[in-house]
């Protein structure tokens, strides 16, 4: 199974060019059979621009997650801390086998009527 995940274009580009090895989330998907993530670059791009495989998911306190992932985070520590402010649990999806699409895909091409997810949506 796959998920479609919304990512700001700057961070999506960092994933595609290998500068960001972790995608951070406040909540993580409940299904355990997710193997691939489709990258939906939010506005102004508004397209699915690539995909990656999930190597592992790290779930721990924000401090522990930052210490384990900071060297390949692709974000600043200040941004990380602000994102997880007031949270006791942080999730980091470790990215593997990134594939950039030559031609980005619209949401309708993937599935008619599909809307941009707030965080993520399951894809069969």
pLDDT digits over 23-54, tens only? 999 999 999 899 999 999 999 999 999 999 99
Where along the chain do its domains lie? 2-123
pLDDT digits over 64-87, tens only? 999 999 999 999 999 999 999 999
- Rounded distance, CA 36 to CA 51, Å? 7
The SS3 call for residue 60 is: strand
- CATH homologous superfamily, domain 2-123: Hypothetical protein. (2.30.130.30)
What pLDDT is stored for residue 32 in this prediction? Answer: 87
- Rounded distance, CA 8 to CA 43, Å? 8
- Rounded distance, CA 70 to CA 84, Å? 14
8 A C-beta contact, residue 4 and residue 124: no
pTM for the whole structure: 0.94
């Amino acid at each position: 199974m796959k998920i479609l995940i919304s990512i700001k274009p700057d961070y999506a580009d960092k994933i595609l060019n290998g500068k960001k090895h972790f995608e951070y989330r406040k909540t993580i998907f409940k299904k355990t059979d997710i193997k691939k993530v489709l990258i939906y670059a939010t506005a102004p791009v508004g397209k699915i621009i690539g995909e990656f495989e999930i190597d592992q998911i790290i779930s721990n306190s924000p401090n522990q997650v930052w210490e384990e992932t900071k060297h390949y985070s692709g974000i600043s520590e200040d941004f990380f801390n602000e994102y997880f402010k007031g949270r006791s649990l942080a999730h980091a999806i470790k990215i593997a086998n990134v594939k950039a699409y030559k031609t980005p895909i619209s949401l309708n091409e993937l599935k008619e009527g599909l809307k941009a997810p707030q965080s993520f949506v399951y894809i069969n």
